[in-house]
Structure 1
Amino acid sequence: MIVFVKLLLAHLIGDFILQPSRWVVHKEANKITSKYIYFHVLIHFLVAMVLLWDLDYIQMVAIIAVSHYIIDLAKLYATPYFKLKSIPFFIDQLLHLIILYICAYYTDFWSHTVTLFQRLDWGLITALVFVSFPSAIIMGKLLEAMSDKIELDHKSLPNAGKYIGIIERLFVLMFIIMGRWEAIGLLIGAKSVFRFNDLKESNNRKLTEYILIGTLLSFGLAIITGIIYVTF
């Protein structure tokens, strides 16, 4: 476990702390001919070796460094084909983590992976999944008749309300699991403060009622989910 944690720390330091923005720009422009991609890989190698502080791991770290170079290079050439630049970024990070995991547990990879899955809290995973997109869809269906009667005179980010609802439900579920019910009240209060100015300016009673019902429904679904999880 400690080997994986140190490798993960080395990755975070190398990818997010010791990689200046100008390096990233230069790599994107010059790709394989950029000198900074080689500096970047070398930094990853050195940081990992310093954190592990054991020459017995040099071969493993070298494999990680080479794989890091290949993955980063593939991302540089693949990124222009993606409309959303965040997609290749997250794919890149996922592949790095998989390599780190495989290298850290290569001696008992299969047994460790099986044990890891056996220890997963599937009830918690189900609760987390439910309060995300399924709850958003359920709320959309429940509020469908009301939403048709709401006239919006302002623009907002695409799907912003849906993602705000998902995040708030995740927070509520987390607070219930932790037994911090008072934090839910603070979350409701904070959301009310942010919404107050918009509702005041719109002077739209239907919109106010719609948002209030949506908020209470969102919190209610998360609270019910949390209670079911901690009870069973």
Structure 2
Amino acid sequence: MMVSDGIELFLRLYPAYLLVEFVLRPGFCGADRFRNSWRSRSLILHAVAAGGLTFLFAALWDIVFMLQNPASLPAMLPQLRNALLYAFVLVAASHFAIDGALARWTAGRREKTSRGGDPGLLPEDDSLRTLFAGGAAHLGVLFIVLVLLSPQAPIPYPFAGPVELIRIWVAAISFLLVLQPGGMLVGGVIRSWRDDADAFQEGSLDKAGRLIGYVERVLVVTFILVNQYTAIGFFIAAKGLFRINDPKRSEYIIVGTLVSFAIAVLIGAAAAYLIYQGGIEQCIEYLSELLQIS
């Protein structure tokens, strides 16, 4: 497998993790995991969904090729079998083990600190810790899947080469990252201000603020990718027109806005560099030289 093929495959697997971990999981799943740990039905369903979606993304181009050429099914079966074994089974088992272990650790930490309240809720000061720990562990599993799938036959790309597809995956991943993972980062940074802002204890206002954060981060990344930096300035100026009388709430909104914009700008700038400024080609060249040396 060429280096560009390996990068495209990894970037194809990573959105599956982001979707199943942050987009497709209902809110009650987290509470059920922390209450019931390994016996959680939602944890099992989450692990199966993670394996199934990863398999779908791993075999995406093979499936498209078979739909276009039904006679190729017998020849494609070995690749589908490997994708099913490595992508589905390994990812499902690892999701169950990693998320179950994190749930037990968090529940035990909550019990030791005697915080009270609903034992199914994730402690705020542990949210970022579990986010990064779980993300790093799942990322390692995806690298293992990449290595196991790499000796297969050439990938039947349907409409473009690997470099063009890498650009598409980079753009898609940048939008996924600024949504829920970006929102969790913002929530962790502004936690102390949020605890002091009494008005934001109301669920409706909290949900509205979360939705506004999603929209503003998506817009900022979009403006960067279409090279409309002036629009970002107008967007920031428009948000600055809001006036809030309560100092605590104003600090909460200002800090949250700045952190949200910073996350979106950093991710958008990194994506723009990779897509438009030769970053992808440089990564491919560097990894090719590194593999030749090793």
TM-score, with length taken from structure 1: 0.48
Work out which of the two has the higher radius of gyration on C-alpha atoms and give 1 or 2.
Answer: 1
Higher RCO (C-alpha under 8 Å, 6+ residues apart): 2
